Every structure is written in structure tokens, then in C-alpha cells.
Amino acid sequence: MVTGERENPLRADGPVSHDVPELASRTTVPVSCAACSTPANLHPLPGRSSRSDILLTRPVPMLVTRIVLALATLLCGLVAGFLFAFAVVVMPGIRGLESGAFLRAFQEVDGVIQRGQPLFGLVWLGSVVALVAASVLGIAQLRGVERSLLLIATTIYVVGVQVPTFTVNVPLNNEVQELVIEAMDTEAQQTARERFETRWNYWNVIRTVCATVAVGMLIVLLLRL
């Protein structure tokens, strides 16, 4: 018999709907990560870095490169200034002395370095170490013109400054240091001066120019970064 009542499909004695468990299984419930309190669905997907990770990791290597490059520029600039002072002040200043006094004066000036002046050694060797380190970092960090500027500046500084220093100028310095000037006559003193002065000045001018060019390129590079 048909009545006016509508059957309730959820009644216990009626047909049971299987849609409810299915809908429940489709409901997304955030599950907390076992290692932290962050919901699992807020963790970045495997193989991807979050924006915060990128901001924290990417600037650090470039910042280190800038710091090392700035240090290298400073130290190379001090070396260039040292060579420039010899080229335009020290050597012209003792040029007017007679040969014995000239050699003795150079012995005294160079003796400060020969006796291991620590600040000079720190600046000179530190410039090479810092510049080579900046070049190694720059190969990985820089591209195009910036990389070329750094590598060319490093090559000019090493080949044009350091190589002549240790193959020409330092051996000449050592020769002068070994002279016993008081035991030499005037002619021997003049011969020793001629063998030393012209060649030493020539290569010091080359060192000064190369160091100045290299420092100029490093400054340009810093301004471009």
C-alpha cells in the first residue's frame, strides 16, 4: 500500500548507501609530519627548493666571491702603489748619489724587506692568494665580460708583476745585498751600479704598469657586480 511518507535511505532497516565511505575517503585531511609540526601537504615537493631555501643559499657564494674579490683588489692596489713609489720617488731620489752611496742606500731600503717585514709580506703574498682564490670562485660564479675581466686581470698580475719580481728584480736585489761596498774601488762600484740600476728600473716600470692595469680591471669588475 502506498503511503504519503518518504523512505529515508539512511534508516537502519533500509538500503545502506555506499557513497558515504567513498566521499569520506576523498576528503583531504592534513597529516602532520612525524619530524616536525608542519602539515605534510605544506612541505615542498621532492626535487624542488622552496623560495626561502633559494634566498638563503644562492646569495652566499656570490657574496663570498665579492668579498674575496674586494680583498684582492685592495691588496693588489697596495702592491701597485708600492711599485709606483719606487718608480717615481725612491729610485729617482737616490739616482743623484755617487755609485757607492747609491748602492748603500738601496741596500738599506731593500734590507727592510729582506729582513722579513711582516706587513709587506702579508700584503705581497696575500695579493696573490686572494686574487687566485677570487679567480677560482669567479670561474664558477661569473659569465661573459665579468669572467673575462677577472681572468685577464689575474693573468696580467701574475705574469706581469710576480714573474718579473722573482726572476729579475729579486735576484738583482740579492746581488746588491751581497756587495761589500767599502771593499770596492770607485770603478767596481760604478760597474756594479750599471749592471743593476738600468735593468732593475726597466722591469720595475713594467711591474708598475701591469699592476695598475690589473687593479683598474678589478675595480671595473667590482662596479659591474
Q: Using a pLDDT cut of 90, give the percent of the chain over it.
A: 67
Has residue 161 been placed in a domain? yes
Nearest CA-CA partner of 109 in 95, 94, 127, 122:
94
- Check if the beta carbon of residue 207 is closer than 8 Å to that of residue 83: yes
pLDDT higher for 142 or 179? 179
* Sequence-ordered alpha helix ranges (H) in the chain: 19-26, 51-57, 59-85, 91-95, 99-114, 118-141, 144-157, 163-164, 170-177, 186-224
Q: Note down the domain range covering 179.
A: 64-224
Has residue 23 been placed in a domain? no
pTM of the model: 0.72
The CA radius of gyration of the chain, in Å to the nearest whole number, is 37
pLDDT higher for 216 or 26? 216
Q: How many domains does the chain divide into?
A: 1
Residue 122, pLDDT above cutoff 50: yes
Has residue 6 been placed in a domain? no
Has residue 109 been placed in a domain? yes
Has residue 31 been placed in a domain? no
In DSSP terms, which residues pair with 32 in a beta bridge? 39
Residue 88, pLDDT above cutoff 70: yes
pLDDT of residue 225: 85
Nearest CA-CA partner of 200 in 225, 217, 179, 175:
175
Has residue 15 been placed in a domain? no
Residue 32, pLDDT above cutoff 50: no
Has residue 42 been placed in a domain? no
Has residue 211 been placed in a domain? yes
Mean pLDDT of the chain: 83
